[in-house]
Every structure is written in C-alpha cells, then in structure tokens.
Copies of this chain bind each other. A is one copy, B any other.
C-alpha cells in the first residue's frame, strides 16, 4: 500500500506539499508540482478516501435504505437508478443498505449509513413507524430524508407523493367511464402509498353510493403472482364488479392474466388499471392504463435537500399523472 508519505519521499518533498498539489487549494510552484505528479505516477499512488474523509469530515457518500419488499417491482430499479444518477450528478456516490423486512433491520441500515458518515441518507421505509422516524431524524447529525411518506412532524425531511390525490384521479377516470362497482387489490401492509390509495378508492366508492366496498377488496403483496391470485379470489367471491384497480402495475398485470384465464376479456368484459407506470405495461395486451409516479423528481428533490441545493417546498406536492391506454373501457353493464 503506497501512501502519501511514499509519494512525498519519492518526490523529495513533504507530505503537506503532496496534499496541496492534489487538492489544488494552495499555490505550489510549478516545478514542484511536476515532481509530485511524476512521483504519483511512478508509485501508482491512490489517495485513501477513508483517511481523507476522516480528516476533512466531509463525505462523498449518500445513503439509501430500501426494504427488500419492493425489490422485484419496477419501482425499485427506477428508484435506484435515479438515486445513483442524481448522487453522481452532485459528485457523490450512492451507498446502499438493505432494510430487509423489519423495523429493526431498517434502523440498523440507517445507523450503518450514518456511522459511515454519509452526507445524508434517504430512507424508503416500510416498517419504522412515523414517530420513531421523526425521532431518528431529529437526533441524526446528518440529514435524513424520508421517501414516499408524509411526515407531519418534520415536513422538510419528507419527500412524498400524494397517493391519495393520485388515486382520486384514477377513480375519477374509472367512474367517468361508467364504472361503479370497482374492486381493489391492495399491496402488503403497512405501506403509506397503499393506505392512501385504498382510502381514496373507498371514499370515491362510498361517494358514488357503493356501500359494500369491503366485499370488493382483495389482498396482494405487490407481486404479479399475488395480483393473479387476488383476481381469482375476487372472481371466486361472487361479487359483481366491472373494473379492478390494483395498488401497483405488477398486481394489475397479474390480475389481467387471471381474468383472461376465466374468459373475461379486458377491457371488453372487465377493466383493469394500476399505479406506477411500469415500463412493461405499455407492451402488454391490452396496454395498461396507469398513473405515472414522478419518482425521478422525488429522488432529485431528496438528493438536493441533502446537499442543501433545494429549498423549494413545492416539490413535496407531487401527485402523478394519468396514463390512459387500453385496459380500461366503458362500463358495459348498466346497473
């Protein structure tokens, strides 16, 4: 392991001089500079970032904690991709810790990142309860930004999407197509996005006079497989409904599969819609009607908040935009 001292000796100067030419802060004589660069090349020196960060107390890392519950969705790749992208756009690197499946693991993950002296950490939490989150935020020496979740206690530490409003938009569309009895497949609980979406669904149903919404609710776990089974369960339940709204695209896609298998053409006999605007939805037959979620903006805002380049509170009010494709049709059965 070649250190700065080795380079210094090789160049016949002191450690501090080497440090200076590397950081370009102080002024160093050109000839000396050349000498140092030559020594660096000869020795194959690579600065140790741990030592550097320890000395400067500055970090080039931004942490991200995600539950692996969302690992299989398209949501995950988009999130990670954009997180990496924006971090690097600001000369930082993304460091990643798995929140696994429990609040304890999620806390561990956050703790690890904080102790790694990240400049900040983004948390896509599924298990830590809000008050606990608020406590972590207030006690943390570095900014902690909570993703996809509203935090009353510290709004500027949360970047979220208004899933309730998004779900309303979708329900309005469905109802405008004449659907009244709309079934809902929810994701695994607890999940803020699911809760909000489900609530809007129920509220809209009630507002339109459907009062047995419970009978139209099915349970999934975000996976296609679970959407497939949830749709089967719904069908088996014997309830009347003309549309199925799933809490994400994957489940919607699974549901379509199940409906088709039962001889129900989509959208002719049954309409289906999802959330997230997963890439694959466009290539399905029928192409999936969905709600596009501005993940990219959310992450960008989070990163900028961490690095203090963004103070725009408006960014927390995202709600998504409807993407109309083929999987929703007009309601056939007049009720």
Contacts and interface: CB of A to CB of B under 8 A. Distances in A.
A236 interface: no
Interface in A111-150: 111-112, 114-117, 139, 141
Interface stretch (A20-28, A92-100, A302-310): A92-100
Nearest to A53: B50
> Would you call the interface of chain A mostly helix, strand, loop, or mixed?
helix
Given A46-B114, A49-B112, A96 B98 contact: no
Interface in A271-328: 279-280, 282-285
A257 B84 CA distance: 31
B285 A285 contact: yes
Contacts of A85: 68, 98
B98 A88 contact: yes
A225 to B, nearest CB: 8
Contacts of A201: none
A53 B284 CA distance: 49
Copies of this protein in the assembly total: 2
Interface string A37-51: 000000010111111
A102 interface: no
Contacts of A96: 80, 84, 93-96
Nearest to A140: B46
Given A85-B98, A93-B96, A95-B93, A280 B50 contact: no
A54 interface: yes
Contact of A50 (B94, B111, B117): B117
A208 interface: no
Interface string A74-97: 001100110011001000011111
A224 interface: yes
Given A49-B112, A85-B68, A85-B98, A279 B224 contact: yes
Contacts of A16: none
A93 B121 CA distance: 15
